[in-house]
A = this chain, B = another copy of it.
Amino acid sequence: MDPNNATSMHSHCVDITMEVHQVVPPPYKSTLHKFKARLKETFFPDDPLRQFQGQSLNRKLILGAQYVFPILQWGPNYTLKLFKSDLVSGLTIASLAIPQGISYAKLANLPPIVGLYSSFVPPLVYAVLGSSRDLAVGPVSIASLVMGSMLRQEVSPTLDPILFLQLAFTSTFFAGLFQASLGILRLGFIIDFLSKAILIGFMAGAAIIVSLQQLKSLLGITHFTNQMGLVPVMTGAPLVSVIISTLLVFAIKGQKHGISVIGKLQEGINPPSWNMLRFHGTYLGLVMKTGLITGILSLTEGIAVGRTFAALRNYKVDGNKEMIAIGFMNVIGSSTSCYVTTGAFSRSAVNNNAGAKTAVSNIVMSVTVMVTLLFVMPLFQYTPNVVLGAIIVTAVIGLIDIPAALQIWRIDKFDFIVMLVAFFGVIFISVQLGLAIAVGLSTFKILLQITRPKIVMLGKIPGTDIYRNLDQYKEAERIPGFLILSIEAPINFANITYLNERTLRWIEEEEDNIKEHSNLRFIILEMSAVSAIDTSGISLFRELKSTLEKKGVELVLVNPLAEVIEKLKKADKDNDFIRADNLFLTVGEAVASLSSAMKSQSSTMTEGAQTIVAHY
């Protein structure tokens, strides 16, 4: 105790507390029990069956039906007041859905009408199965772009439009199948591997590709008339620009002056398309790959949108259930002339802003699109392509999120690199490879954190018995004779060699520093951050202990967690390397107890004894 240290008001507490608390293994649980608990945490972390507990059979059936069809949950309580809100928001998103549908279908190299079909059937399916109140369903730019560019690698949409359409529907089928499977198998966490950094880089890269493509077609216009000046002003309000430009072209007969227009569109609602699905032949690999990539990308957007608005309005969406809903939506869509759809971010934001209360706004949008398909379609034939191009460019330019990129640069340089890899990978290699490399790189980083875990040296914060990182807390002090290290990762086959080498290097550096060779008595390993261990990890301790014994240094473990102490005990039937007297609950207790034992021992020993002994 240092009387000169003003901050150590209560340091006498530390010195008089000689009581030592035991480290205990957790109570016995059978392997089966542990396996079941692990399984539950892995696949059912949200515990979806909890609401069924302690309910009558009847109630369980009702809850079950409501679980599968959320519409049964909110439907019976639906009121006219809610409908008024949903009607307004539904009409609002419909005004967005029509021009977006036409533009995004064009982005996917599909006939514009398919974009409208895709805003009719899928929203109805989602209204029955989905659990988000804010999600507005329809085609989205990224999935459209990716599908278009992946399919075009093997089939030309201009030379063989029917085959291209067949492949698009089949890809949509596989996307839906994959999405629903992820949900049913409760493997939804796979989409977490597309981190925010990757998505930001990827979307910016995709936006640039699309913009360049559209720019090419914009520049390809031969007669540059005065209507063009309107475009930048119009793009802010897609439906208005479509209507005005269509009327203008119609009035001035612009198509005869070289303005490229959509051309004749088929009237009527979605024709069936299950006869267009191709499950055999040369393109099966291509459609499965395209389905997988567009499926995972659209799922990521849909789930993120659902979660964002649920958090905003304080309700819960079940990720795996959402995946099943989006998956079924696409499987059914693929049989009714729709291509891949999901919860669209921009559209859902508008929906939420316009006051949507339930999925009924999706139904309103769907009905509006249906009316359009039945009666208004022929009018769109005069819509100039350049306006659609402008809508696309505006949409995708919005995907470039510079402030988010800067924020990532500030916080985490490695995430920034991953972002750049996704960005340049998508631009210069391909969508699938760019994504794969970025995911691989971020997974590699996680593995590297395990392979090269941090080990930090702890010191005592004066006037307490708190031990913290010496680098971080400059006032913390070393305790002579002790080397206190904290290992900050699970210990397993991938890092035992490193941990062994690194620990020995600490000791050597220590010996170099203090020069008196035998000054170091104890190595205390603080294990609070070692959440798991495997058989290799156990062998590390055995090896480390025997190496240290040869140097006359004793190994002490502090606060091994449940799994770790349990496995150490199992591996050590003879109690030869983890005895109670080198196992402590806190670093403070370990230091206090070992120091006093050391003192009492050295006072009873003869003068000049060389070693303070490794066991006592």
Contacts and interface: CB of A to CB of B under 8 A. Distances in A.
A33 interface: no
Interface of A: 7, 9-10, 13, 16-17, 19, 21, 24-27, 31, 35, 41-42, 45-47, 189, 192-193, 195-197, 307, 311, 314, 316, 319, 407-408, 410-415, 442-443, 446-454, 456, 461, 463-464, 466, 468-469, 471-474, 488-490, 492-498, 501-502, 504-505, 528-532, 534-536, 538-539, 543, 546-547, 550, 559, 561-562, 565, 567, 570-571, 585-586
Nearest to A22: B473
Given A311-B546, A528-B529, A567 B412 contact: yes
5 contacts: A192-B494, A195-B493, A412-B567, A450-B450, A472-B561
A7 B21 CA distance: 10
A196 B535 contact: yes
Contacts of A468: 559, 585
A383 to B, nearest CB: 40
B586 A192 contact: no
Contacts of A534: 195, 197, 411-412, 414-415
Given A196-B539, A471-B26, A538-B411, A449 B531 contact: yes
Contact of A536 (B13, B195, B461, B501): B195
Contacts of A16: 10
B448 A505 contact: no
A525 to B, nearest CB: 14
A446 B448 contact: no
Contacts of A450: 446, 450
A505 B565 CA distance: 27
A505 B46 contact: yes
Question: How many copies of this chain are found per oligomer?
Answer: 2
A13 B9 contact: no
Contacts of A411: 534-535, 538, 567, 570-571
Given A10-B16, A413-B35, A586-B466, A45 B498 contact: yes
Given A468-B585, A547-B311, A492 B21 contact: no
A240 to B, nearest CB: 36
Contacts of A443: 447, 494
Contacts of A538: 411
Given A454-B532, A468-B559, 17 more contacts: A10-B19, A13-B13, A13-B17, A26-B469, A45-B498, A45-B505, A189-B494, A192-B493, A192-B496, A196-B535, A311-B546, A407-B571, A411-B571, A415-B535, A443-B494, A454-B531, A472-B562
A528 B47 CA distance: 27
Contacts of A546: 311
B24 A473 contact: yes
A494 B196 CA distance: 10
Given A193-B494, A586-B466, A489 B9 contact: no
Contact of A447 (B447, B530, B567): B447
B448 A447 contact: no
Nearest to A29: B471
Contacts of A407: 535, 571
A40 to B, nearest CB: 10
A463 B19 CA distance: 10
A553 to B, nearest CB: 13
A228 B571 CA distance: 44
A42 B452 contact: yes
Most buried by B among A41, A448, A453, A504: A41
A199 to B, nearest CB: 10
A447 B444 CA distance: 10
Given A189-B497, A464-B21, A498-B45, A26 B472 contact: yes
Can you list the 8 inter-chain pairs with the closest CB atoms, starting with the nearest?
A195-B493, A13-B13, A488-B531, A529-B529, A26-B472, A472-B562, A10-B17, A415-B535
A71 B382 CA distance: 86
Nearest to A43: B452
B446 A505 contact: no
Contacts of A493: 192-193, 195-197, 442
A561 B531 contact: no
